[in-house]
Every structure is written in C-alpha cells, then in structure tokens.
Structure 1
Amino acid sequence: MSFDFSVVPSYAQILWTGVLWTILITVLAGAISVAFGIGIAVTSMYGSKIASVPLRGVAFLFMGTPLLLQLYLFYYGLSQVGIMLPAFWTGVLGLGLHYAAYNADIFRACLKGVDTGQTEAARSLGFGRGATLRHFIIPQALLTALPQVGNNSIILLKDTAVLSVLGITELVLSAQRAISETYRPFEFYFTAALLYYLVNLAMEYLLSIAARKVEAIR
C-alpha cells in the first residue's frame, strides 16, 4: 500500500489541538514535578527523620516502578477511596509526581553543592534557618539544577503520550482519532512524531536561552 499524506491537512485542527493539550500537560506536570521535587529534597535533607524517611521511600517507589502502572493506580485507585478526580487531572498529577522523584535527586545534589559559607553568611546577617533556605540556598540550587531539570522536562513531554491510554486528549490520542477515520496509521503517527520533534526543538531552544541567562547571573 502506498503512503498518502494528502489526508493529513484535513485533520490539522485535531492534531493542533493535541499539540496544545500536550504542551499544557507538560507545563502543569512539570510545575508539579518541580514543586514536589524541591519539597522532597528539602525535607529529606533538613527535615526530621519522621518526615524524610517516608518521603524518600515514596520517591524510590516512583523511580522503581513503571509510569504506566502508576497512572493506572492513580486512575483506578483514587476512585476506590472516594477521591474523584477528572481523568485529565489524575494523569497530570501522576505524571508530575513521577518526575518529582527524579527532580528531587537533582535538587538534593544541588543543595549539597551550595557553598556552606553562604549559610554562615546568612546566619551572620540574622537570617533564621528557614529564611536562609528560602532566600539563599534554594534559589542557588535551582539555578544549578536548571539544565538537568530541563532535560527531565523534555523527557516528560514525550511521556505525555502514555496518558492516551487513559483517554486523555493529547497528541497521540488525537492521531489515533484521525487514524480511526482514515485508516492511515503511518501517515498520522509519522506526523505526530514530527510534531513532537518540533516541540522538543522549541523547548531545547528556550532552555538554552534560560541556561545562558543563568550563567550570566552566576
């Protein structure tokens, strides 16, 4: 059978909608992964063992099990305990928490890498432990972590495709809907792959700009 890409433009709106939803999911899940990643890293380093040990155990659990299995557990498990979340938010939360575990390791290493003299200087100026973390240690660690967290964000973008198994609208599910009407899987999957690649290029460009600005600040 020959390939026929002439059918693709007719479904441009569906594919474009999938791209927009993919970007939105990436932004939301990425924000969750950064916020929870910082929380896990700070708690595991500076919190009590009662809080830090369980958090680190949960982080290892997320890193040691498949993302798809975690999404199924969130999707079907939460409803069984009376927590009714829309599929979209369940997917975003599951994806964000999965990458929070990886980002936590990055933030933890970057927190350790901040010069101890910074803490001593802040304390000498009258800043307490919490204020020192908020105003000096965490901001510097974030700047150092940016390239690695950015790489994780690119991987997260590609993993949004897994959400299609939950019926969440994103690029792969949009392509599948077009395929169900045209019976042209190669054309639409190839187009989806190309769109992922273009979005990846845009993300890499933005991250490179951010990295240059960080280097200028440091």
Structure 2
Amino acid sequence: MDFSFDVIAHNLPYLLAAARWTLVISVSGMAIAIVLGVLICAARLSHSLVLSRLAALYISFFRGVPLLVQLLMFFYMLPHIGIDLPAIGAAIAATGMCSAAYTAEILRGALQAIPRGQSEAAEALGIPPLALWRRILVPQAIRIGLPSLVNELILLVKVSSLASVVGIAELTRVAQNITGETYRPLEIYVTAAAIYFVINFTLSRLGRLAERRLQIG
C-alpha cells in the first residue's frame, strides 16, 4: 500500500479540529491542577496533622489509581450523587484532579528549595500567612518547578487521549474513526503523531522561553 498524501490533505482539517479538544482538556486540566495543587501543597506542609494527613491521602490516591479508572469513575459516578457533568467536563475534572496530586508534589519540592530565612523574615515583618504564600512562596515555587510543570502539561496532552473512552472526539478518537472509514491507518496515525509532536514541541519551547525569562541571574 502506497503512502498517500492526498489522504492526509483530505483528513487533516478533521484532525486539527479534534486537536482543539486535546488542548482544551490538557490546558484546562493543568489550570485546575495548579490551583488545586497549591492548596494541597499548603495542606501537606501545614502544621495541622489532619490537613497534612488528608493531603497525603489525596496524593496517594490520585497517584495510585490509573487515570483511566478515575475518568470512568467521574463520568459514571458523579450523576449518582447529583452532579451531572458533560463528558468534556468529567474529563477535565478527572485530568485536573489527578494532575493536582503530581503538581502538589512538584511545588512541595520547589518550596523546600526556598531558603527558610525568607519565611522567617516575612513573619518578623508581620506579613500574614496568606500574603506570604501568595506574594512570596508560590511565585518562587512556580519558577523553580517550571520545568517539571511544563513536563506535566506535556504528559497531560498525551494522556488526554484517554478521554476517548467517554466519547469525546479528541485527536486519537477522531484518528481511529477516520481509519475505520478510510482503511488508511498509516497516513492517519502518522499525521496524528505529527500533530501531537508539534503541540508538545511548542509547549516545550514556550516552557524554556518562560524559564529563561524568569531565571534570576
């Protein structure tokens, strides 16, 4: 079977349209992960034993259960407790909450790299704990952990293909559907792989650019 560029040209618009859902799931999930990850990280480092244990349990659960299982749990379990999310909402929520466990650990490692003297100086100046986290600790932690956070976003782009199990027409699902219609798997999957590569390569370059801009000389 010859490699046909006509097949690629004809189906490329459909694959690019599907890639938008891949980006929506990944970027939205990462946004949730950062916000929730900061809160979980703060709880994990809290002097409260209850908060610390609950945060550790959250991290252990979401890192220990496969994302596919979590996605199916969100999609099928939430309606039973009165939360009726559409498939895309369940995928974003599951992706974000799973990634939040990893993001919290990334931030916790970054926070531990910040000199303790900064917190002590802030306390001596009477800066409230919330302002200390919002204005001093979290910005530095994000800067220090930026390479790992970019890697986490790239990972989310790849695992977003799992959303196809709940019927979302993201890139992998659409590639499978087109292959079933055209019987041209080589061209379609090569094109899908190229789109994934372009997305992740772009994210990697943007991450390196942001890292250089935030770097302290």
One-letter identity of the residue aligned with 1:85: L
For residues 157 and 205 of structure 2, the distance between their equivalents in structure 1, rounded to whole angstroms, comes to: 15
Is residue 173 of structure 1 aligned with residue 173 of structure 2? yes
- Determine the structure 2 residue equivalent to 1:140: 140
Cα deviation for residue 55 of structure 1 reads 2.3
- Determine the structure 1 residue equivalent to 2:45: 45
5+ long unaligned stretches in structure 2? none
For residues 88 and 100 of structure 1, the distance between their equivalents in structure 2, rounded to whole angstroms, comes to: 18
**Percent of paired sites with the same residue:** 36
- Determine the structure 2 residue equivalent to 1:77: 77
Is residue 116 of structure 1 aligned with residue 116 of structure 2? yes
Q: Could you tell me the TM-score, scaled by structure 1's length?
A: 0.94
- Determine the structure 2 residue equivalent to 1:90: 90
Cα deviation for residue 47 of structure 1 reads 5.3
- Determine the structure 1 residue equivalent to 2:60: 60
- Determine the structure 1 residue equivalent to 2:102: 102
- Determine the structure 2 residue equivalent to 1:153: 153
For residues 165 and 37 of structure 1, the distance between their equivalents in structure 2, rounded to whole angstroms, comes to: 26
> Structure 1 residues 182, 47: closer, same or farther in 2, change over 3 A?
farther
5+ long unaligned stretches in structure 1? none
| 1:37-82: CA deviation from partner (whole Å, max 9, x where unpaired) | 1111011102522222122112111111111111111111111222
Cα deviation for residue 125 of structure 1 reads 2.3
For residues 92 and 128 of structure 1, the distance between their equivalents in structure 2, rounded to whole angstroms, comes to: 33
Is residue 182 of structure 1 aligned with residue 166 of structure 2? no
> Structure 1 residues 197, 89: closer, same or farther in 2, change over 3 A?
same
One-letter identity of the residue aligned with 2:202: A
Q: CA RMSD in A?
A: 1.5
Q: Could you tell me the TM-score, scaled by structure 2's length?
A: 0.94
Native 8 Å contact 2:70 2:94 kept in 1:
yes
Cα deviation for residue 131 of structure 1 reads 1.8
